[in-house]
Structure 1
Amino acid sequence: MIFRSRAPVRLELAGGATDMPPYDKEHGGIVVNAAINKYAYTTLIPRADNKVAINSVNYNINLVLDDVKRIVYDGKLDMVKACIKLMQPDFGFDLILKSDVPLSCGLGSSASAAVSLIGMLNYVLKKKMNLYDVAELAFEVEDEIKNAGGRQDQYASAFGKINFMEFKGDSFVRVNPIPIRKRHRLELEKHALITHIGLRDSVTGSGKIVADQQKSYSKEEKKIQLDKMKEITFQMRDALMAGDLRRFGELLSEEWKEKTIMNPVITTDYVENLRKIAAENGAIGSRLMGAGRGGFLIVYCDDNKEHAVANKLEEAGTRVSPFAFDFDGMQVWETNK
């Protein structure tokens, strides 16, 4: 028997950074995000011995763990090793991992990979973890390998859907699907586009950017920005519920403005030039997702302007990627193939 799983990546729409300590515990964090039909896939094939052979397609790395009780973090697939260490499998297997999106792209791909693998091992080991358990352990994996970040990515990947999430410190998370009418969801998919602008530079990787943010959260001016981002997040939730999609688009840009005031390093001249090109050709609002400086830009376009915006952004060197929303979240299945 062969076991497979997949977990979606997410679009970060508003509130990112309020889901991280110490702000979430002291003031309560909220985010609006959406899972999309780009996935991290895991295939598990049991083997006769107790070794674990891992093949990461995206990283082009193959390695073998002779003893899962003696795992060493050495910079090679440490996230995968941490998942295995925390789940404690008692049998050997071949593991094949791949993702639909590039690495370090701002869509929470590492969290999706962790959710997919943990969900898979939960199923095979019959641990009976629920989605909250799977998401929380995937967050603990990031902590295990000392990669700073919040919790929204893991929960978005586990649950799927378009969500309003609440964070009140430690493991307190509440996932609230936003009730959006089907016609409004279809309009969102038609007029929104995501485009890959290139990878962020290694000097300012996501972990470093997030860690720098956390160090400054105690400063009063940073709290003021996070409070403003929270208010925008409430407004975005309400706009989506009301079907006010123009306002949704405007709020993308408003939230991005507050994020860049809080941490100017997350943007670049290139990013802002792309946003300007989009606005000049029919975009209502836009923002970069994830830690910043690279990855995917989301743009919400005026009526029937999405093609013009997409063409201009691709002329500027980006790569537009079609998408739809995912409402299934993490999935596991069996096959004989």
Structure 2
Amino acid sequence: DGLWRARLWRVGQLDDVLAEAMTLARLAAKGADGPAGRAAGRGTRYSLAEVLPRVNHARLLAVRAEIRRQVNLLNVAERVLNNDALPAAEVCGEIRTGEEATRALRQLAGLLDGAALGKPLLRARILRLMAMISETFAAQIAAPALPSCLSEVAAAVAVSFEPCRLPRPAAILHDQVVWVTTPVRIDFAGGWSDTPPICTERGGTVLNAAVTLNGLYPVQVMAKLNTAGCIRLSSIDLGERKEIRTTAELLDHHDPHDWAALAKAALILAGISPSRREEPLAKWLKALGGGLDLTIFSSLPKGSGMGTSSILGAAVIACLDRVLGVPFNTDRLIRMTSILEQRMCTGGGWQDQVGGIMPGVKLIRTQPGPDQTVSLRWTVFDMSEGSELKQRCLLYFTGQKRMARNILQNVVSGYLARDPAILRTVEALKVSALATKEALDAQDISGFAAGVARYWELKKSIDPGSTNAPIEALLASVSRETEAALLPGAGGGGFIFMIAKSAAASERIRASFEAHPPNAHARFFDFDVDRQGLKVTVL
């Protein structure tokens, strides 16, 4: 009870208490602890028992919080460097004034010019934080012009890519045609964990299937040499044609709404054309053999959610590689397709192209790092005639289209901002993919359905834009008949994959949707698991 009752604690005006404390400290340093020390310490003192009832605890906590806030704002750059999981929203929430925002931005700009040089993913995080601060205090500060954080993500993906510097001759004859066919993919679990920079920093785990639709390969690409001295692009499904004669035309490939953007970017990546504007395209085409006709075909609409864009990109690169005689290499093709997506500013991950390039139903995993080399583990998915999965699984095109780019940008921006909910969801996606694969290994269809249902909830959690009112209405209309349902890919439209509770329930769902389609484009597709994957043929 002695210390509790001992009157040790000086109480008074702040200036008086500090002056007395400093005097006592000086006297103690000189060894003057006699009468002078006692005289200096005669201010009013209380014991803890007397002080605590008098303390304004709310004010004390508020002062401590304010001191902590001020210290945090003095060390924004250091905190970003030392805490990879620091939420950007937490930093923004600590800033109260335009002046504080300006000081924080100045610290972060110094980080970009210093410790973050040559570290594109760190730079992407910093730029995302700077953008959030600038947006929050736009009315109070002159916000600096900032590059896109997504451009730094693209730089990270392309770290190990070296563009071709010299033109090369074709490895096919003028009367030969290179023909590439490929399935599309349905993702059952783990999507988003494959998206840069998530996979680059944390590794990815995805379970998906290569599928044919209505018995056909939905994506096909053909290439043939010509003598016209130009590149002629054609899209069979869109009915579009374009003739290209300059390097500048090919370098204009960043608009995802341009139907030819993918082909133009692939021609540069594959080394058919130069990557530098000052080099004439005619010189490269002459070395190739005169010119090139490139024809692309996709039987699915853009925004279908079946990985069509990435898979078409992989097919184009594989086709052009064969034109140049580049040996087929799966790892290279996956990496080049990821770079292609980033160059087009669509920013997709690797699961789409792996899903189409490699056959069957497989668990795809990568380790953290810029080189996302995949490891594969196949599982059983019996779609033979009369099998339970064949009878219960349905694939329905909703007639709604949405570009995955918008959803991708939302998720990647949230991840770069280190949104705690997104970080938790990413880990849950990977764990769920492993569990869903194990259910298929055990031929546990109910367990597989539970994994698919869990995946759909995680998709909606990581980005609410994955669904919308019309989609939810469609799903609700058959919820009593389904054990699980999801929208493949980024969601927001496209296809619905459903697992009915029984074969009879599957027939009732089909009858209901066929009798009352939500629009003129909605329809069922028969699908089967493909056992071949991407195939390159020379005719």
Give yes or no for TM over 0.5: yes
> How far apart, CA to CA, are the structure 1 residues paired with 2:243 and 2:357?
27
- Shift of the 175–156 alpha-carbon distance from structure 1 to 2, 3 Å rule, reads farther
The worse-fitting range, judged by mean Cα deviation, of 109-118 and 180-189 is 180-189
CA deviation string 1:215-239 (max 9, x = no partner): 1111112111222222211111101
- Share of identical aligned residues, percent? 21
Aligned to 1:143: 342
> How far apart, CA to CA, are the structure 1 residues paired with 2:315 and 2:487?
25
- Aligned letter for 1:162? V
Does the aligned pair in 2 maintain the 1:54–1:94 contact within 8 Å? yes
Aligned to 1:333: 537
- Shift of the 19–326 alpha-carbon distance from structure 1 to 2, 3 Å rule, reads same
Aligned to 1:214: 412
> How far apart, CA to CA, are the structure 2 residues paired with 1:225 and 1:161?
27
> How far apart, CA to CA, are the structure 2 residues paired with 1:155 and 1:194?
20
Q: Structure 1 unaligned runs (5+)?
A: none
User: CA offset at residue 187 of structure 1?
Assistant: 3.4
Aligned to 2:476: 276
> How far apart, CA to CA, are the structure 1 residues paired with 2:231 and 2:181?
20
Does the aligned pair in 1 maintain the 2:484–2:500 contact within 8 Å? yes
Does the aligned pair in 2 maintain the 1:6–1:40 contact within 8 Å? yes
CA deviation string 1:181-234 (max 9, x = no partner): 657894333321111112334xxx311210110111111121112222222111
Aligned to 1:25: 200
Matched, 1:241 2:471: no
What RMSD, in angstroms, separates the aligned Cα atoms of the two structures?
2.0
Aligned ranges 1:313-328 → 2 under 5 Å: 313-314=513-514, 315-317=516-518, 318-328=522-532
> How far apart, CA to CA, are the structure 2 residues paired with 1:230 and 1:319?
32
User: CA offset at residue 30 of structure 1?
Assistant: 0.5
- Aligned letter for 1:171? D
> How far apart, CA to CA, are the structure 2 residues paired with 1:120 and 1:21?
25
Q: Structure 2 unaligned runs (5+)?
A: 1-175, 273-287
**Whose relative contact order is higher, 1 or 2, with alpha carbons under 8 Å and at least 6 apart?**
1
Aligned ranges 1:176-325 → 2 under 5 Å: 176-180=376-380, 182=382, 186-201=387-402, 205-217=403-415, 218-280=418-480, 282-304=481-503, 305-314=505-514, 315-317=516-518, 318-325=522-529
Q: Count how many residue pairs are aligned between Structure 1 and Structure 2.
A: 331
* Greater strand content: 1
User: CA offset at residue 166 of structure 1?
Assistant: 0.9
> How far apart, CA to CA, are the structure 2 residues paired with 1:187 and 1:170?
41
> How far apart, CA to CA, are the structure 1 residues paired with 2:433 and 2:327?
33
Residue 173 of structure 1 aligns to a residue whose secondary structure is coil
CA deviation string 1:221-279 (max 9, x = no partner): 21112222222111111011111112211221211112212211211111112112222
Does the aligned pair in 2 maintain the 1:274–1:316 contact within 8 Å? no
- Aligned letter for 1:332? V
2:315 aligned residue (87, 96, 116): 116
Does the aligned pair in 2 maintain the 1:106–1:294 contact within 8 Å? yes
Aligned to 2:250: 71
Residue 71 of structure 1 aligns to a residue whose secondary structure is helix
Matched, 1:88 2:271: yes
User: CA offset at residue 329 of structure 1?
Assistant: 1.1
* Greater helix content: 2
> How far apart, CA to CA, are the structure 2 residues paired with 1:248 and 1:95?
41
> How far apart, CA to CA, are the structure 1 residues paired with 2:494 and 2:442?
30
2:227 aligned residue (48, 58, 61): 48
> How far apart, CA to CA, are the structure 2 residues paired with 1:132 and 1:160?
15
User: CA offset at residue 153 of structure 1?
Assistant: 0.6
CA deviation string 1:298-333 (max 9, x = no partner): 001122122211222332423111010112111111
CA deviation string 1:162-196 (max 9, x = no partner): 11011224232324142316578943333211111
TM-score under structure 1 normalisation? 0.92
The worse-fitting range, judged by mean Cα deviation, of 21-30 and 237-246 is 21-30
- Aligned letter for 1:27? R
Does the aligned pair in 2 maintain the 1:136–1:155 contact within 8 Å? no
- Shift of the 68–188 alpha-carbon distance from structure 1 to 2, 3 Å rule, reads farther
User: CA offset at residue 122 of structure 1?
Assistant: 1.6
TM-score under structure 2 normalisation? 0.58
Aligned ranges 1:154-193 → 2 under 5 Å: 154-168=353-367, 169-180=369-380, 182=382, 186-193=387-394
